[in-house]
């Protein structure tokens, strides 16, 4: 397994550096731009960053997440980690602990011998022992495979390609009479295209390494089904049981498993018997298997879709005398491709109308036409298309009482199409577990746990709320109204949250509506102004 991963990594990184070398050779042959100094400086900066980043991240964890290092894992978990480290000739990782009920685990560091593994209180309260071992085994896999080192080396390529693009564009502008000016601009464009391509190659490499970290955990625990159930609990939020009191003592003790790109961590707890309804899991998998947006989100993500990881893990179950954890045998009753293209059109129309509007206004000005009337009409068209998108995102349908399980089974939902819903449950932690500046929540009802997006129109208000008010909501029973979306993480953007009989409102919806009203007034003003002069 390690040899296969090493081969894939070396082949991918070699391809990336081949692209970089080709651009550098073109510059050397066709221009006189001194890019060598910039490349050397970038490499030095990246090396320094690589060397000091674990220390900086330690400080960030302590200051902003209130993480405590030197945490003593429960004996059975600690023995498991010691055995895995011994088998893989690596040092015991530095363990960090964040006192937050949202379960999360991640690793960082330079090599396998100075890795940090950070866990939250929620890991011990909401997962059983075998699942905890599987999650920590996944993180140890990242360290054992030198993922941090390989990804740093790979990420140097897009950094340098973008730097070359900027140098070429600046050089072309400042030396228009340079005989190599045409080559410089062309090389800059090629460098930018390769910069975009290299970023997607790195995302692909990252997703591949996630599969190998899962395989490492399976080999270490000899229990693929525990990793699968942990993925379902943390990734989908399916549960029918209260918080596990067995690990509540963890409260007093002084490269995540999912994509943290948007800081929307999904959480879950187990049923009393440790098993979750397979039908509920299949219902939750439908969106990833059928909705076209899921493929697009994965293409832009560091992590594979959870359903794909579940099926890959389940394919290993029989190797360890277990029945496959899950098989997805549901068939769609309709095509969702048409919905995707409708949503895609709704998403791009405001931008397209803006671009076309600029062109039309420029033509009118060039021909000495009535610019103000044209601008007013264009602005109304832009507002119309933008408002259509707004109404799709903030549906005006009633807020229907729902459960997490109900929401997860919805297929016709995305970052554009929302489902108004009402949930009742308990706030168990922050959306970004432990982060004192994160205003978002995680709510747990009788069927599962889901992320709540608290988003006031003025960002500083969100941060003040996070620092001084949000802790008052922890462990409290609440009722929320909002819009359920998926991108690909399931979440609910809040409109109201009721606690202790008081309703806290989020004003983003009304704020955007007010902006539309102002926009329409301006557009009408542009239309009638010429006739009032």
Which residues are tagged catalytic? 139
Q: Is the dihedral of CA 397, 402, 408, 410 positive or negative?
A: negative
Which residue has tokens 């090389």?
Answer: 187
Between the two ends of the chain, the Cα-to-Cα distance in Å is 78
What are the backbone dihedrals phi and psi of residue 504, each rounded to the nearest 5 degrees, phi first? Answer: -100, 125
- Residue 483 and residue 322: Cα distance in Å, rounded? 39
- Residue 146 and residue 90: Cα distance in Å, rounded? 11
Angle between helices 224-235 and 306-314 (to 10 degrees): 170
Which residue has tokens 């000091």?
Answer: 52
Q: Which of 423, 409, 448 is nearest to 239 (CA)?
A: 448
Q: Which of 231, 242, 225 is nearest to 284 (CA)?
A: 231
Instruction: Say if residues 72 and 94 touch (Cβ distance below 8 Å).
Output: no
Strands 419-430 and 477-486: antiparallel
Which residue has tokens 């009032």?
Answer: 532
**SS3 of 217-283:** HHHHHCCHHHHHHHHHHHHCCECCCCCCHHHHHHHCCCCCCCCCCCCCCCCCCCCCCCCCCHHHHHH
Token readout for 412 is 């016709």
Instruction: Say if residues 314 and 224 touch (Cβ distance below 8 Å).
Output: yes
CB atoms within 10 A of CB 259: 23
Token readout for 250 is 């963890």
Q: Residue 298, exposed/middle/buried by CB under 10 A (0-12, 13-18, 19+)?
A: buried
Q: Which of 145, 106, 315, 303 is nearest to 218 (CA)?
A: 315
Kindly state the helix (H) or strand (E) to which residue 481 belongs, with its residue range.
strand 477-486
Token readout for 438 is 């994160």
Angle made by CA atoms 403, 287, 210, in degrees to the nearest 5: 105
């Amino acid at each position: 397994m390690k040899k296969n991963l090493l081969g894939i990594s070396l082949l991918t990184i070699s391809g990336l550096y081949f692209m970089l070398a080709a651009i550098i050779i073109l510059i050397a042959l066709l221009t006189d731009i001194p890019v060598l100094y910039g490349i050397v400086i970038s490499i030095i900066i990246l090396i320094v960053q690589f060397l000091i980043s674990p220390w900086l991240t330690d400080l960030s964890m302590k200051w902003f997440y209130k993480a405590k290092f030197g945490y003593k894992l429960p004996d059975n978990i600690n023995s498991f980690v010691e055995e895995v480290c011994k088998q893989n000739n690596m040092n015991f990782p530095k363990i960090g602990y964040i006192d937050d009920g949202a379960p999360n685990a991640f690793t960082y560091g330079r090599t396998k011998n100075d890795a940090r593994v950070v866990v939250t209180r929620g890991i011990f309260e909401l997962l059983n022992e075998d699942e905890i071992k599987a999650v920590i085994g996944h993180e140890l896999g990242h360290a054992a495979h030198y993922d941090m080192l390989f990804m740093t080396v790979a990420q140097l390529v897009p950094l340098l390609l973008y730097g070359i693009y900027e140098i070429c564009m600046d050089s072309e502008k400042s030396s228009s009479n340079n005989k190599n000016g045409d080559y410089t601009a062309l090389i800059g464009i090629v460098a930018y295209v390769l910069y975009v391509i290299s970023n997607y190659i790195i995302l692909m490499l990252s997703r591949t390494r996630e599969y190998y970290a899962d395989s490492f955990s399976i080999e270490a625990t000899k229990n693929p089904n525990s990793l699968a159930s942990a993925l379902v609990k943390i990734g989908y939020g399916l549960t029918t049981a209260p918080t596990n009191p067995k690990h509540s003592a963890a409260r007093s003790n002084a490269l995540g498993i999912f994509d943290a790109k948007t800081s929307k961590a999904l959480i879950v707890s187990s049923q009393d018997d440790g098993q979750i309804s397979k039908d509920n899991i299949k219902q939750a998998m439908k969106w990833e298997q059928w909705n076209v947006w899921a493929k697009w989100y994965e293409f832009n993500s560091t992590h594979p879709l959870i359903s794909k990881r579940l099926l890959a893990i389940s394919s290993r179950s029989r190797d360890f005398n277990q029945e496959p954890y899950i098989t997805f045998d549901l068939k769609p009753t309709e095509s969702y491709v048409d919905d995707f293209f409708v949503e895609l059109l709704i998403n791009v129309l405001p931008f397209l109308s803006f671009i076309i509007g600029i062109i039309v206004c420029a033509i009118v000005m060039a021909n000495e036409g009535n610019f103000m009337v044209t601008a007013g009409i264009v602005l109304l068209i832009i507002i119309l298309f933008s408002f259509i998108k707004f109404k799709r995102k903030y549906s005006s349908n009633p807020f229907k009482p729902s459960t997490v399980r109900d929401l997860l089974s919805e297929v016709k939902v995305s970052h554009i199409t929302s489902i108004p819903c009402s949930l009742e449950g308990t706030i168990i932690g922050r959306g970004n577990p432990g982060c004192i500046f994160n205003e978002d929540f995680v709510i747990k009802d009788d069927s599962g746990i889901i992320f709540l997006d608290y988003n006031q129109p003025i960002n500083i208000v969100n941060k003040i709320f996070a620092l001084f008010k949000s802790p008052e909501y922890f462990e409290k029973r609440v009722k929320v109204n909002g819009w359920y979306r998926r991108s690909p993480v399931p979440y609910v953007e809040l409109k109201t949250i009721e606690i202790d009989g008081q309703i806290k409102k989020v004003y983003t919806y009304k704020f955007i509506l007010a902006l539309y009203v102002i926009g329409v007034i301006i557009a009408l003003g542009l239309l009638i102004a010429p006739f009032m002069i």
